[in-house]
């Protein structure tokens, strides 16, 4: 019964993540003005989340070839997802802090780094482990397999969280300093707008919290399972699979629904007849030049 509940939570949360990620992918495909380098990184992040969600939606398939495919695929695309967040953080840091304009030349290196690392870690995780032998297809069996999972997935994950946190801290600190200088120069009536923009920019500091919120319970659960393999905590497992499966939804809201996307959608909606547009909520574009990633 508990496995059925966990399975339902995974399917429901993954369906929400799939919808959110697919929406961002669709926006990138349909709106040519979004195809700038920085939003291209968001596109590949959403694409990774979308495939991760697709394989999760299948739930716990029968043991066999498809079960192995699900185990390897969920590992690969979840790794790729949080690795793409590090490329976004790196791009922001290189542009804002180091004032470099060569980020577009790094595209091939980003692809090699993300897909290559995800592939290597996925292959390494299979050493000492047999996908598909547990209750779930991605369950690791044996202490060696569990330890390998911690090293090949959770170690890179928390490395990415620390890197993102440090990078966004430096970006926000520099922007804070720039804002203080601007406030001293600008007239008083403009100070409110500057501080409002800085408040919007500070939202970047919440990006690392997405990974923490998505994987903190999973990390605790893996460590607990390694220490006490015969004692499962149901509520911890519930939070583990539920929050991890919602990662795609969180990413699509934080990274994807920026001012450029809202502006592109609003531009299309303006072409609709008035009787339809009145039924839709207004889309706010406040602070769009400074807050969107695509402005880089």
Banded pLDDT at 203 (limits 50, 70, 90):
low
Would the pLDDT of 255 be above 90?
no
Q: Quick one: average pLDDT of 253-261?
A: 82
Report the distance separating Cα 32 and Cα 23, nearest Å: 15
Report the distance separating Cα 42 and Cα 48, nearest Å: 10
Alpha-carbon distances, residue 125 vs 48, 114, 141, 229 (angstroms): 19, 16, 12, 19
Residue 110 pLDDT: 97
Question: Coil, strand, or helix at residue 278?
Answer: coil
Q: Quick one: average pLDDT of 129-146?
A: 58
Return all residues near 160 (Cβ < 8 A) that are at least 6 apart: 82, 83, 85, 86, 211
- CA angle at 10 for the pair 213 and 7, rounded to the nearest 5°: 140
- Domain locations along the chain: 1-278
Measured in degrees and rounded to the nearest 5, phi and psi for residue 169 equal: -60, -45
pLDDT digits (tens, 9 = 90+) for 152-191: 999 999 999 999 999 988 988 888 787 777 666 655 545 5
Would the pLDDT of 274 be above 60?
yes
Residue 72 pLDDT: 85
Superfamily of domain 1-278: Rhodopsin 7-helix transmembrane proteins (1.20.1070.10)
Banded pLDDT at 291 (limits 50, 70, 90):
very low
Q: Are 129 and 71 in contact (CB under 8 A)?
A: no
Residue 137 pLDDT: 63
Give whichever of 1-5, 79-83, 284-288 has the largest mean pLDDT: 79-83
This model's pTM is above 0.85:
no
Banded pLDDT at 290 (limits 50, 70, 90):
very low
Banded pLDDT at 63 (limits 50, 70, 90):
low
Report the distance separating Cα 162 and Cα 168, nearest Å: 10
Banded pLDDT at 81 (limits 50, 70, 90):
very high
Report the distance separating Cα 68 and Cα 64, nearest Å: 7
The better pLDDT of the pair 132, 207 is held by 207
Would the pLDDT of 285 be above 50?
no
pLDDT digits (tens, 9 = 90+) for 38-55: 899 999 999 999 999 998
Return all residues near 116 (Cβ < 8 A) that are at least 6 apart: none
pLDDT digits (tens, 9 = 90+) for 211-221: 999 999 999 99
Report the distance separating Cα 140 and Cα 148, nearest Å: 9
Helix, strand and coil percent figures for the chain, each rounded to 5: 80, 0, 20
Would the pLDDT of 260 be above 50?
yes
Q: Quick one: average pLDDT of 8-22?
A: 94
Would the pLDDT of 286 be above 60?
no
| pLDDT, averaged across the chain | 81
Residue 294 pLDDT: 42
Residue 283 pLDDT: 47
**Angle of the 65-92 helix axis to the 37-57 helix axis, nearest 10:** 160
């Amino acid at each position: 019964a508990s496995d059925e509940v966990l399975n339902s939570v995974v399917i429901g949360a993954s369906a929400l993540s799939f919808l959110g990620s697919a929406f961002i992918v669709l926006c990138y495909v349909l709106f040519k003005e979004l195809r700038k380098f920085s939003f291209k990184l968001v596109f590949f992040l959403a694409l990774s989340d979308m495939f991760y969600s697709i394989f999760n939606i299948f739930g716990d398939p029968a043991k066999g070839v498809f079960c192995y495919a699900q185990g390897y695929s969920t590992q690969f695309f979840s790794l790729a997802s949080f690795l793409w967040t590090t490329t976004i953080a790196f791009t922001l840091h290189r542009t804002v802090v180091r004032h470099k304009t060569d980020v577009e030349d790094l595209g091939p290196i980003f692809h090699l780094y993300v897909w290559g690392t995800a592939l290597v870690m996925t292959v390494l995780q299979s050493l000492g482990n047999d996908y598909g032998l547990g209750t779930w297809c991605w369950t690791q069996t044996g202490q060696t397999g569990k330890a390998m999972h911690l090293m090949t997935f959770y170690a890179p994950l928390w490395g990415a969280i620390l890197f993102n946190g440090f990078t966004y801290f430096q970006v926000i600190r520099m922007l804070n300093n720039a804002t203080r200088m601007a406030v001293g120069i600008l007239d008083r009536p403009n100070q409110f707008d500057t501080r409002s923009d800085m408040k919007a920019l500070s939202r970047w500091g919440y990006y690392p919290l997405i990974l923490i919120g998505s994987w903190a319970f999973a990390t605790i659960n893996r460590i607990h399972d390694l220490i006490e393999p015969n004692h499962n905590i149901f509520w911890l497992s519930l939070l583990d699979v539920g929050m991890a499966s919602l990662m795609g939804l969180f990413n699509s809201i934080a990274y994807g629904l920026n001012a450029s996307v809202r502006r592109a959608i609003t531009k299309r909606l303006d072409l609709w007849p008035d009787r339809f547009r009145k039924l839709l909520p207004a889309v706010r574009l406040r602070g769009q030049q400074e807050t969107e990633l695509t402005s880089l």
